[in-house]
Amino acid sequence: MASLRLALRSLGASRLYNRPFVRWCIPSSKVRAFSTKLSPPSKAVVYEQHGPPDQVTKVIDLPPVELGANDVCVKMLAAPINPSDINRIEGVYPVRPQVPAIGGYEGVGEVHALGSAVNSLSVGDWVIPSPPSFGTWQTYIVKEESIWHKINKNVPMEYAATVTVNPLTALLMLEDFVKLNSGESIVQNGATSIVGQCIIQLAKIQGIRSINIIRDRAGSEEAKEKLKRLGADEVYTESQLEVKNVKSLLGDLPEPLLGLNCVGGNAASLVLKFLRQGGTMVTYGGMSKKPITVSTSSFIFKDLSLRGFWLQKWMSSEKAKDCREMIDYILSLVQSGKLKYEMELVPFNDFSVALGRALGKLGSHPKQVIKF
């Protein structure tokens, strides 16, 4: 117990009791009488205060955790560093675990040990926390059986690790706001992002055509080609859309009923310009850090609706009951080669390198996924 107390003290244990991630490292006295299974010791990326992630995070050792009857110990295989993970550590995300906390929100692991009453999972199964939950950046996690969703092992682990935050967001935005029929179109900015790439591919599967807007930059022609290979119908840089009537560019593409915005500023205005009468723009990101500016007549006479999407809120809603079915659908698309996006697997030992890349400090890199 000495090492446990020590580890918890270093995490500020007196303030930690009863917080979600401590649930995994403090034995429950109720359960102790029925089970004496322990998890292996774990390594975790922890931050004790909010701030620049490369300054406030550190990898620490956590002691073994006793498994309750309904608990499952999962050996983590992979977990991504998403922008929202970074924002949580920075303290700028609206909902975040209280510090000290373990980083990460999604990931995939392999069942390592089972509490005595667990019957829906077996050792060796691949599982993801679903809905996702805080604290996936550690080597072993102990959580209740109901948290874990067993998935098909026939997908690369980096896809299993990243299936929720980006691809599910893409799927939900295509389905939750307007009814899109085959042959109709959507417009999006930030199309090279993983969500953007997923939107192109998921739309195509449904027969929905996509108009895509990307930043002007070196390599924009290559980016266009890449998105077209994924199924994009049209890809424009912002400067190409500095024309009097963007709709004149549409050719035989129908005017889009749905627009998706993860940029703000001018890139959001371009999405609005493409939308048809009665269209909806859904904002799910603000990469430019600029606001959205809309004329009053867009609302009154063009009847546009502007909405927002936040996966974490969706996950706390009634609708989230369908989330596992959607995850399975997305992974089936990955398995059949219909959904792909670039990632870079980085050994956990090189976490600080992966974090530096995710922070954009080391040039342009694909999504960083920690391999435990």
Query: In the complex, which residues of this chain contact its own copies (CB under 8 A)?
Result: 94, 261, 264, 268, 282-286, 291-310, 313
Nearer of residues 152 and 295 to its own copies, judged by Cβ: 295
Phi, psi torsion values for 182, nearest 5 degrees: -55, 135
Closest approach, Cβ 172 to its own copies, in A, equals 13
Give the number of other CB atoms < 10 A from CB of residue 337.
7
- Which pair of tokens denotes residue 107? 């990931």
Shortest separation between residue 92's beta carbon and its own copies, angstroms: 10
**Closest by Cα among 115, 15, 113, 22 to 63:** 22
Nearest of 154, 74, 77 to residue 118 by alpha carbon:
74
Cβ proximity to its own copies: between 6 and 92 the closer is 92
Shortest spacing between CB 294 and its own copies, in angstroms: 5
- C-alpha dist (Å) from residue 219 to 192, 199, 267, 287: 12, 21, 18, 19
Closer by beta carbon to its own copies, 33 or else 300:
300
Instruction: Output 122 or 305, the one with its CB closest to its own copies.
Output: 305
Mutual angle of helices 169-176 and 194-205, in 10-degree steps? 50
Annotation marks residue 140 as catalytic: no
φ and ψ at residue 14, rounded to 5 degrees: -60, -30
In the complex, minimum distance from the CB of residue 84 to its own copies, in angstroms, rounded to a whole number: 10
Q: Which is nearer to its own copies, 272 or 355 (CB)?
A: 272
> 113: which residues sit within 8 A by CB, 6+ positions away?
37, 39, 67, 72, 73, 123
Catalytic residue, from 17, 47, 93, 105: name it: 93
CB of 59 to its own copies, least distance (A): 30
Our CA angle for 285, 259, 163, nearest 5°, is 55
| Active-site residue list | 93
